[in-house]
Amino acid sequence: MRIKKFRGKNITEALTKVKEEFGEDAVILNSEKVFENHETYYEITAAIEEKEVEILEKESEKEEKESFLKLKEDLIKELIEIKNLLKTVLNFNRTGNYYEYLKWIEKGIPPFIAKEFAEAKITWSEYILKKLKKKGAVPHSKIQIYIGEAGVGKTSNIFKVATWYKTQKKAKVLIISLDNYKVEATFQVKKISEILEFDFKIGDIEELPQILKSGIDYDYILVDIPALGRRILIEELEALYYKMPFLRFQWVVKATEHYLWGLKLWEKIKKLPVEGILLTFTDKIIESYPILWLLDVHIPPINFISTGDRLPEDLIRADDAFLLKFFLRGLEEI
């Protein structure tokens, strides 16, 4: 591994030098201010793998392997869903609203929601409002760590939430990025923070306690971390929470994700103090059937909903009135 330090008059200039010499695959090891000859510089320590001494998979073989693993995962999810569906159907009380239950699962509503609704014998509006009341509201904690898998839109939507706090609550917001493994991504996030006029810091998970000490004057601190399962493990977050029990987490969920996958991930992260959900990609779904799993009372309440790609305006604060209309999409027409 080749390691080198880069300096610039500002952090953007230093990042540009890293990108020019090491490329987009560089790993940022450290960043700090240094004083020399009565001047302040931003110094970044970066590293790059010496790929010529490594034996790498051919790109085509790697893609084929990833494609096979993805297909395998999808098949397993489908088989589990079919198995659970059969169990539910066979165990269902046929003296109740059995055929109504079948109608709902045919529409794509998760079986456990369809069964509960059919047995409740109330309207969808009453059912949804009852669920929302049980969940309660999401508190606005000062320090919020946003967690989610790759591709859920976590980083861009953090800036939407920050803008909401800035405009709606007149709050002073600090954004911290611990997702600094790619120079290109760090460079882009830094530019966005400058355009939207947010204070911004970068570091790694070990540096977070020290960075938070400098954020005492902020109303809200939003922390962006790497995708779960790739650059950071859930066990690392549990250890971080053990050291700093005042931390609170927001779960970024993709609306197009299969409910079985969402429930599987929830089982892994539910030990963390997850206060709310930021629901993304809602503009990619027409009806709300597949996301009714989020009404489960064990799942955290929805805090914000991303309605598109525009930054920062495509974001809605999710109160009960809005969520009722949101979850009723398609249901009222049946």
1-26 pLDDT, tens digit each: 778 888 988 888 888 888 888 887 78
C-alpha separations of 305 from 114, 281, 298, 320, 323 in Å: 24, 9, 19, 12, 9
Give CA–CA dist 11/22, Å, rounded. Answer: 16
Q: Is residue 206 part of a domain?
A: yes
Residues 114 and 148 in one domain: no
Question: 156 in a domain, yes or no?
Answer: yes
59: pLDDT confidence band, cut at 50, 70 and 90?
A: low
DSSP state of 168: H
238 and 298, same domain (yes or no): yes
Work out how many domains the chain is built from and give that number. Answer: 3
Are residue 229 and residue 317 in the same domain, yes or no?
A: yes
Q: Give the range of the structural domain holding residue 218, as residue numbers without chain letter.
A: 138-327
Average pLDDT rounded to a whole number, residues 143-147: 96
Please determine, for residue 57, whether its predicted confidence score (pLDDT) is greater than 50.
no
Could you read off the pLDDT of 254-292 as tens digits, one per residue? 999 999 999 999 999 999 999 999 999 999 998 888 899
82 and 36 in a common domain? no
Q: What is the pLDDT of residues 113-131, one digit of tens each?
A: 988 888 888 899 999 999 9
Contact 18, 185 (CB under 8 A): no
CA 115 vs. chain centroid, Å, equals: 29
| Residue 226 or residue 30, greater confidence | 226
Q: Is 306 exposed, middle or buried (0-12, 13-18, 19+ CB in 10 A)?
A: buried
Q: Are residues 204 and 308 in the same domain?
A: yes
What's residue 190's pLDDT?
84
Q: What is the C-alpha radius of gyration for the chain, rounded to an integer number of angstroms?
A: 23
pLDDT score at 52: 38
Say which CATH number the domain at 207 has.
Answer: 3.40.50.300
**Residue type for position 141:** S
185 vs 298 pLDDT, higher one: 298
Choose from 84-93, 209-218, 315-324 the range with maximum mean pLDDT: 315-324
Per DSSP, what are the bridge partners of residue 44? 6, 31
User: Do 313 and 179 lie in a common domain?
Assistant: yes
Identify whether residues 296 and 158 lie together within a single domain: yes
116 lies in the same domain as 166: no
Assess if residue 131 is contained within a domain. no
For residue 332, tell me if it sits in a domain.
no
CB-side exposure of 85: number of CA atoms within 13 Å? 15
